[in-house]
Amino acid sequence: MSLLLQSPPSSALSSSSRQKGRLRFLARSATPRFALSFQRSFPQIRASANFSSSLDKGLSTEFDAVSDLSEIVPDTVIFDDFERFPPTAATVSSSLLLGICSLPDTIFRSAVETALADSVCYGLESPDARMSCFFNKALVKVGSDLVKLVPGRVSTEVDARLAYDTHGIIRKVHDLLTLYNEIDVPPERLLFKIPSTWQGIEASRLLESEGIQTHLTFVYSFCQAAAAAQAGASVIQIFVGRVRDWARNHSGDPEIEAALKRGEDPGLALVTKAYNYIHKHGYKSKLMAAAVRNKQDLFSLLGVDYIIAPLKVLESLKESITSPDEKYSFVRRLSPNSAASYSFSEEELVKWDQLNFASSMGPAAVELLAAGLEGYATQAKRVEELFGKIWPPPNV
């Protein structure tokens, strides 16, 4: 999730300081970007004119219409735009902490300074343990502030350097949850964002069995999505645009090649297949489509549980008003009913284990997962380096 932070002098919603104290930072910047080329083109899927429009119900914009079919999550938290695009959920991450620390007067700055002044962390002899304590405290302090600002759940990033350590992930989540409990943040308001390695998926399974909600990210293949659903992950996040970008610049991934042969966009096809798998087989997981690049992507995914859309797309939807003689139809493309008729191969219906999971990960998923983990790990290191420079805070 990207965040655009503002720190007004008296209120987070104040308009008097809209031009000051702003910072934008993107979660995807933690991952090396893949250059776009247009060696391949993908079919466009348009909303059908053969269905009655959601706007017949009295809705006046495209944004209203699509919001009736999927929960639209803004890919930004802009305090100036709470009324236009109220954020329903948020993520606290290492990239967010970096952004907060780069501004002297954001509304979250005091949360970080309080974390760095924590006496428990200060008393730890080991520098590594002390830094880990500060990092955890900062995530939780900022996360608790976000819980007060959004009506939905706040997802807390788990250190990507633990991605291949199931027990390390579980210990980290327990540590974070304990800190949240100490400041009375209800566990039902929390998710813990874990990379979708096999070890991360196993950690999700064990945590969910304890009633702890998990958010599995960096999903780029069907085997990851299916294994995550079997593990009982609360939220599964697929990056539509990143899969497409890989396909435009590479070849040799069987899953992507199969989608292209069917004339489908591989990113959209992965979301469709994962959604149908989850709903056809009765898994509890909610599916989140991220890296949605334009309105066409969004229209093609209507019906999925969550769509993370960038501000430019939301603004375009909000500004698109239909007239009585210009009906615009919106179709729910994903639904439990359509999932019931979707066919899966025997190989796709296996009980996933580490061996068949590893053998089913194509080159796209392997490369994109590695790039994502590297980016997140780099961000975490930068946070630790920055904390080392500014600790202790000036007021301690």
Place of tokens 């070849």: 251
Could you tell me the two tokens for 328?
Answer: 């615009």
Backbone angles phi, psi at 154, to 5 degrees: -110, 125
User: How far from the centroid of its chain's Cα atoms is residue 205's Cα?
Assistant: 19
Strands of the sheet containing 154-157, edge to edge, are 71-74, 306-309, 286-290, 235-239, 214-219, 190-195, 154-157, 90-92
- 348 DSSP β-pair partners: none
Could you tell me the two tokens for 305?
Answer: 């549980």
- Please say if 193 is a catalytic residue: yes
- Asked if residue 171 lies in contact with residue 158, where contact means CB atoms within 8 angstroms, the answer is no
Marked catalytic residue, from 137, 141, 193, 295: 193
* Whether the bond into 186 is cis, omega within 30 of 0: no
CA distances from 208 to 87, 169, 178, 214 (A): 26, 13, 16, 7
What residues are annotated to the active site? 193
